[in-house]
């Protein structure tokens, strides 16, 4: 398509106008801060060896960051956008935009009142910045609610060397027994698990703290019969899936076998056979 094409020229001019808008520069800084933090958490959680406690800690940290960023990050984004606007010779002001109002079909209908209609900056903060952060916080809370629930049930096994509060530990062991109960049977006994945790605290070396380290130590030293409840609880805990990134990556590898180009068959690669088109393999 020639460079003098009117449609292409109009599209390019429109994109330049939108990029040179100050609100675009502000949002670019906002998305940089938001997606930068999300990217770190996403890559960490895609690791096949990530544990439940680590995943919950990461999700809580990014949620706290979004809450703090909603309260204090707007001014920081404005300052960064002003510096970028100075370099690009863009006027650092929010432009007023036409506000669409609902047509009144009947006389008794009230007139739509748009808050902060006369202040583009306040309108941008309330209707764009705050909305984005609110949706991000709500999405994190909803999507990882089950993960938080698992951590509340299994969290006391995250550090086997830090089991000082006996009352809370007893309640946690009983709660885990109830979670693993089906009808009249349960996979573990809460009272026996409490006793085994006391033994493990004294028996395990100082470098054995995490669940995966405890499972390896029990397996290496053949202690399954000595700590059957702890052995079962730790194995179930370690098989709880944190993400499905491994499964998604395996499906994406199918593209190496059957690509888009192999799926698209043009007329030149088709032959006519008995009045029908048969794809040439």
Q: What's the confidence (pLDDT) of residue 57?
A: 87
pLDDT per position as a tens digit, 236-262: 988 887 765 555 555 555 555 555 555
The predicted structure's pLDDT at residue 163? 76
pLDDT of residue 219: 93
C-alpha 5/C-alpha 245 separation (Å) is 44
Sequence-distant (≥ 6) Cβ neighbours of residue 189 within 8 angstroms: 177, 229
E strand or H helix at 75, and its extent? Answer: helix 52-87
Report CA 165 to chain centroid distance, whole Å. Answer: 33
Confidence (pLDDT) at 274: 40
Spatial contact of 125 and 119, defined as CB atoms under 8 Å apart: no
| Whether the Cβ atoms of residue 234 and residue 228 lie closer than 8 Å to each other | no
pLDDT digits (tens, 9 = 90+) for 186-206: 899 999 999 999 888 888 888
Cβ atoms of residues 78 and 63 within 8 Å: no
Q: Where are the alpha helices (DSSP H) in the chain?
A: 6-19, 22-45, 52-87, 120-124, 130-143, 145-154, 166-179, 190-203, 211-220, 228-238, 245-252, 254-257, 260-263
Q: What pLDDT score was predicted for residue 65? A: 94
Residue 273 has a pLDDT of 41
The pLDDT value given to residue 15: 81
- How far is Cα 171 from Cα 162, in angstroms, rounded to an integer? 16
Distance between start and end Cα atoms, the chain: 34
CB-count exposure of residue 55 (10 Å: 0-12, 13-18, 19+): buried
pTM of the model: 0.67
The Cα–Cα gap between 32 and 94 comes to: 20
Distance between CA atoms of residues 214 and 229, nearest Å: 13
What percent of the residues of the chain are helix, what percent strand, and what percent coil, each to the nearest 5? 65, 5, 30
Q: Does residue 131 contact residue 124 with C-beta atoms inside 8 Å?
A: no
Which pLDDT score, from 0 to 100, does residue 217 have? Answer: 92
Estimate to the nearest angstrom the gap between the alpha carbon of 220 and the chain centroid.
36
Residue 161: what are its φ and ψ, rounded to 5°? -95, -5
Low pLDDT (below 50) residues in the chain? 1, 270-281
Say how far apart CA 96 and CA 23 lie, in whole Å. Answer: 11
pLDDT of residue 262: 56
């Amino acid at each position: 398509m020639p460079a003098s094409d009117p449609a292409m020229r109009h599209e390019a001019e429109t994109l330049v106008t939108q990029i040179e808008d100050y609100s675009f520069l502000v949002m670019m800084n906002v998305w940089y801060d938001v997606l930068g933090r999300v990217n770190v958490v996403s890559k960490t959680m895609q690791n096949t060896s990530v544990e439940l406690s680590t995943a919950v800690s990461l999700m809580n940290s990014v949620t706290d960051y979004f809450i703090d960023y909603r309260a204090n990050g707007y001014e920081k984004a404005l300052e960064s956008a002003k510096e970028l606007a100075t370099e690009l010779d863009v006027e650092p002001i929010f432009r007023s935009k036409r506000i669409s109002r609902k047509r009144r079909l009947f006389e008794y209908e009230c007139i739509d009142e748009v808050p902060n209609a006369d202040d583009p900056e306040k309108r941008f903060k309330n209707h764009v910045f705050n909305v984005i952060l609110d949706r991000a916080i709500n999405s994190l809370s909803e999507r990882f609610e089950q993960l938080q629930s698992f951590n509340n049930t299994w969290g006391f096994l995250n550090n086997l060397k830090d089991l000082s509060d006996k009352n809370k530990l007893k309640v946690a062991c009983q709660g885990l027994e109830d979670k693993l109960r089906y009808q009249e049977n349960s996979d573990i006994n809460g009272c026996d698990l409490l006793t085994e945790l006391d033994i493990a605290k004294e028996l395990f070396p100082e470098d054995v703290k995490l669940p995966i380290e405890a499972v390896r130590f029990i397996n290496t030293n053949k202690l399954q019969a000595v700590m059957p409840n702890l052995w079962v609880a730790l194995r179930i805990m370690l098989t709880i899936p944190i993400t499905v990134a491994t499964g998604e990556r395996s499906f994406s590898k199918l593209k190496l076998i059957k690509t888009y180009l192999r799926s698209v068959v043009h007329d030149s690669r088709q032959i006519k056979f008995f009045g029908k088109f048969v794809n040439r393999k």
